[in-house]
Amino acid sequence: MTTQKPDLVTRTAQSTATAVHVRGRDLVNDLIGKYSFTEMLYFLTSHRMPEAVETRVLDACLVTLMEHGLTPSAVIARLMADSVPEEPQVAIASGLLAIGSVFAGTTESCAALLLAIERRIAAGEVDAVENVAREYDKAKKPVPGFGHGTHKPDDPRTIRLFALAEELGKATRYVPLLRALGKAVDAALGRHITINATGAIGALLLEIDVPVSAMRAFSVVSRAGGLVGHLLEEKETHSGRAIWAAAKKTVPYSEENQS
């Protein structure tokens, strides 16, 4: 059994009878009314308040992932809202559980790849970008942050995010690196693969010093906001019932090949 380290503490927050302290700041007197949700999210994970351009970049990333229509997340949340109507947090949490490796989880792995390339370049490997592209091609593995089922040939969100980063002076290192990787990937594969929004967000978040380990969690927060809209609409339209009926029709029961 693990025993408690004598110095185990939390630096995140505490509440007392007359105050709430958040990472050394007084929530009531220093934070409420003075900072936005987005600034606080940055503060809680990077332990300093963001500069104005950093906030704009983070807001752009959060806004980008809030909505993408009837994603599996949204479909799950709608079905759950129909089954457990009294508890909105159950519908939202269920939808968020689906933000895994398949959907939206690639922000983190794209950012990690960019950092790895940067280290290889720093170690003297001048062709690291091209080499990485060829390595993925050889291994027949998808490059994290590349490819999209719907957005072809390009993900319009990526184009906008890159332009915004440039406009804000935040395309100094990882945005150009991801762009270079995109060209190398196209060359290695002999065809154009889109840089998807989650990949682009990985680069933008690196530009503003967000830790890689926070990135998937940021996608989760962003999508939590989006799911609220689905939840309110579900209360009016009861789409969950129609989706359920469609699912049964789409996957009919068969007695054939019952072993």
Which residues, 40 to 99, sit near a copy of itself by CB under 8 A?
A: 40-41, 44-45, 47-48, 56, 59-60, 62-64, 66-70, 72-76, 79-80, 82-90, 92-94, 96-99
Neighbours of 76 (CB within 10 A): 20
Instruction: Decide: 221 and 63 in contact? Cβ < 8 Å.
Output: no
Smaller CB separation from a copy of itself, 9 or 126: 9
**Residue number, 33 or 190, with CB nearest to a copy of itself:** 33
Shortest gap between Cβ of 197 and a copy of itself (angstroms)? 9
Q: Which amino acid is at 134?
A: R
* Closest CA relative to residue 25, chosen from 35, 215, 59: 35
Query: Binding to a copy of itself by residue 21, rule CB under 8 A?
Result: yes
- Of residues 1 and 122, the one with the C-beta less far from a copy of itself: 1
Length of the chain: 259
Binding flags for a copy of itself, 211-250, as an x/- string (CB under 8 A):
x-xx-xxx-xxx-xxxxxxxxxx-x-xxxxxxxxxxxxxx
> How far is residue 48's CA from residue 36's CA, in Å, rounded to a whole number?
14
- Say how far apart CA 167 and CA 189 lie, in whole Å: 31
> Which C-beta is closer to a copy of itself: that of 129 or that of 193?
193
252 binds a copy of itself (CB under 8 A): yes
Which residues is 13 bridged to in the sheet? 22
Residue 35: Cβ within 10 Å count: 17
Query: Is residue 15 within the footprint of a copy of itself (CB under 8 A)?
Result: yes
CB of 125 to a copy of itself, least distance (A): 26
| Residue 172 engages a copy of itself in binding (rule: CB under 8 A) | no
d(CA 214, CA 211): 6
Does residue 139 touch a copy of itself according to CB under 8 A? no
Which pair of tokens denotes residue 207? 């530009």
State in angstroms the smallest separation of the CB of 156 from a copy of itself: 5
Using the rule CB under 8 A, give the single segment among 116-124, 132-140, 169-177, 209-217 that binds a copy of itself: 209-217
219: number of Cβ within 10 Å: 25
Q: Which is nearer to a copy of itself, 132 or 146 (CB)?
A: 146
Q: Contacting a copy of itself (CB under 8 A), which of 31, 111, 188, 203?
A: 31
- Give buried/exposed letters for 49-72 (b at 16+ CB in 10 A, else e): ebeeebbbbbbbbbebbbebeebe
Is 116 an interacting residue with respect to a copy of itself (CB under 8 A)? no
